[in-house]
Amino acid sequence: MEIFGYSPNMCTYTILIDGYCNARRVDDAFRLIETMKKRNVFPNEATVRSLIHGVFRCVAPRKAFELLIMFLEKEPMMQRLACDTLLLCLSNHHMATEATLFMNKLSGRGYMPDNLTFNLTMTCLIKGFNLDETCQILDSYIERGLKPGFNTYLALMQALYSVGKCAEGDRYFDQMIKGGLSIFLTLQCNGTSGGLPVHLCHTICSRCCTYYLVGYAGSVARKIKQ
């Protein structure tokens, strides 16, 4: 291109980075970022997203995380652009410990994930990390204004009730109702509602005056009415 007088722009570099990653030439992709900056073409969110997803495609997830963390430590201007995408990749690969470390590091810098990233990451932590610490992280972000979605609340309540932490589960149920989220629960034959205990089904009935019976509702509905 340059031989014929054309200068690569942001779109060109982004496509090249994606191509290098598809060819498993991760080092070349990182070097191209350096080339961009030297030519005063600074990576935007699309470029960073292509790099992160590309690195995760090329190498093992934990190796990808290590490479990207090392890279971002040297590129503070790019960290904000990379945060949401990196957390999404960690969550998609069920890397709860790494996601927690990354979130803890970022929270001290004032980082706030978008709602999609927040809910996917919290669901990953609920399934694969220490439950008490997960609740602390969740609460800290709620205090800062983020709102868990229904699926996040449901996964957390399921996890808490499964280990006997009923008071904590009830607390999040109250929080969910006060937040205005609708209740859509699947009642199953084992007498639980989406993994929730029967006593919570009574609570739903008394507080919300309605429930949504899906799937195996018949026998369980009769049991709860008794």
Look at residue 185 and tell me whether its pLDDT is greater than 60: no
Average the pLDDT over 98-111 and give the result. 82
Q: For all residues of the chain together, what is the average pLDDT?
A: 78
Structure-block tokens of residue 71: 């890279």
The model's confidence at residue 150, banded by pLDDT at 50, 70 and 90, is confident
Percentage of the chain with pLDDT > 70?
76
Average the pLDDT over 5-18 and give the result. 83
Structure-block tokens of residue 85: 């995408």
The amino acid present at 99, given as its one-letter code, is A
What is the greatest pairwise CA distance in the chain?
82
- Helices marked H in 23-146 — which ranges? 26-38, 45-58, 61-73, 76-92, 96-107, 115-128, 131-143
- Do 190 and 224 meet the contact criterion of CB atoms below 8 Å apart? no
* pLDDT number for residue 215: 33
The model's confidence at residue 115, banded by pLDDT at 50, 70 and 90, is confident
pLDDT tens sequence across 18-76: 999 999 999 999 999 889 988 888 888 889 999 999 999 999 999 999 999 888 888 77
Closest by CA to 87, choosing from 74, 75, 103, is 103
Domain boundaries, the chain: 1-59
CA distance 45 to 62: 22
* pLDDT number for residue 2: 57
Residue of 67 and 205 predicted with greater confidence: 67
Structure-block tokens of residue 48: 């960073």
Supply the pTM of this predicted model.
Answer: 0.72
CA distance 141 to 50: 27
Structure-block tokens of residue 158: 């399921």
